[in-house]
């Protein structure tokens, strides 16, 4: 096998490994306010997509496991949490391929 073929095989293997990474993240609401909307958008898009919680909420002091796999293959995501008092918190460049938990703290 030539060096070029080996390099191509390694690139293909690393791409398929990245695509298979676990993107489930436990979101911890450590604040005293309910999260009423939560968004996670990959670094390749300029909008917040859809509210992951839908009609639900993430109560103060609770957590939820969210699969942040949008099928794009991206690992870096921006998070937006909207709280019941209309405060918003944005966290950028979260690597969901390596991150198992994310905390919203007071």
Nearest to residue 104, comparing CAs of 74, 86, 77, 83? 83
Check the CA dihedral 46-88-63-52 and report its sign: negative
Strands 101-104, 24-29: parallel, antiparallel or unpaired by DSSP?
parallel
Banded model confidence at residue 13, pLDDT cuts 50, 70, 90: very low
Banded model confidence at residue 7, pLDDT cuts 50, 70, 90: very low
Banded model confidence at residue 24, pLDDT cuts 50, 70, 90: very high
- Chain-centre distance of CA 9, in angstroms? 29
The CA distance from 96 to 106, in Å, is 22
Q: Structure pTM?
A: 0.79
């Amino acid at each position: 096998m030539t060096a070029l073929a080996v390099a191509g095989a390694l690139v293909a293997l690393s791409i398929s490994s990245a695509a298979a990474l676990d993107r489930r993240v436990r979101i911890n609401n450590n604040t005293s306010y309910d999260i009423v909307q939560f968004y996670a958008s990959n670094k390749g898009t300029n909008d917040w997509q859809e509210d992951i919680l839908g009609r639900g909420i993430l109560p103060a002091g609770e957590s939820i496991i969210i699969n942040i796999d949008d099928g794009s293959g991206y690992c870096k995501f921006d998070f937006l949490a909207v709280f019941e008092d209309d405060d918003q918190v944005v966290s950028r460049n979260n690597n969901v391929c390596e991150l198992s938990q994310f905390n919203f703290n007071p």
